[in-house]
Structure 1
């Protein structure tokens, strides 16, 4: 299955480097290498509807840059492969914009959004507890907030990223 198109938030250079460093440290401990670029998805679809991209260009400039607070760790998945992520809390403006985009997206889940930053993708279920434990040990207690510096429309099949906000 090809990667979906996304409207997403890119982190500041400092936060991006920090997350990539966590990926390296987790790999050094024997966990699967994470290849994804650190990001926060607002909505995604196999092919993004043009109306969603247009609305994103209207609503996201007022929300970005944005600060998102780490609120915990969550796991997603109901089968053998699991995803581990930091659960994030966003500003009301960003939350409203993300919900608008998801509701407008025919492939979306209605006006729902769970802000998160994926740190472990497609992990075998049996290693998830150890992965979370290692992540807790490696994460600095001083990293409480992430900066979403820009919003983009990412089309992985074309390798094309279009900036939507700052």
Structure 2
């Protein structure tokens, strides 16, 4: 199955690097390497429709930058391969906007959104408890807050990133996260 197109939120480079450091420490402990760019997905589709992108471009700019708080760890999937993620909470305004964007996507999950940051993608089911234990040991008192500084449409087949909203720093320059 080809990778879907995503409307997603990127972290600033410093926060992204902190997450990548956790990936590296987990890999040093013998867990599978995590290559994904740390991000928060709003919605995805095999081919994102233009009206969904337009709605995201209308709703997201006033909400970026957006703060997220880590409130737990969740496991997605019921089969052999599972995904471990940090469960996040954000402002009511962003929650409402994300749900509206998701609802506009005919391939989406309706007006539902579970904000999360994936920290273990496609893990064999039998290692998930040990992975979560190691993750807790490595991050128990850190990485509790994240900032989304860019909203974008990512088209992996074309390797095309379309920025929908981007935060500026106090000196007026763009807050540039690393390219996906």
Counterpart of 1:100? 100
Q: Structure 2 CA distance, aligned partners of 1:141 and 1:158?
A: 39
Counterpart of 2:154? 154
Counterpart of 2:46? 46
> Secondary structure of the residue that 2:60 maps to in structure 1?
helix
Question: Could you tell me the TM-score, scaled by structure 2's length?
Answer: 0.91
> Secondary structure of the residue that 2:18 maps to in structure 1?
helix
Counterpart of 2:110? 110
Question: Could you tell me the TM-score, scaled by structure 1's length?
Answer: 0.98
Q: Structure 2 CA distance, aligned partners of 1:36 and 1:142?
A: 20
CA drift of 1:140 comes to 4.8
Q: Structure 2 CA distance, aligned partners of 1:23 and 1:142?
A: 14
- 1:53-80 Cα distance to aligned partner (Å, 9 max, x none): 0001100001111000000000000101
Q: Structure 2 CA distance, aligned partners of 1:145 and 1:51?
A: 31
Unaligned runs of 5+ in 1: none
Counterpart of 1:85? 85
Q: Equivalent residues in 2 for 1:1-166 (5 A)?
A: 1-166=1-166
Q: Structure 2 CA distance, aligned partners of 1:16 and 1:134?
A: 19
Unaligned runs of 5+ in 2: 167-180
> Secondary structure of the residue that 1:3 maps to in structure 2?
coil
Q: Structure 2 CA distance, aligned partners of 1:140 and 1:122?
A: 23
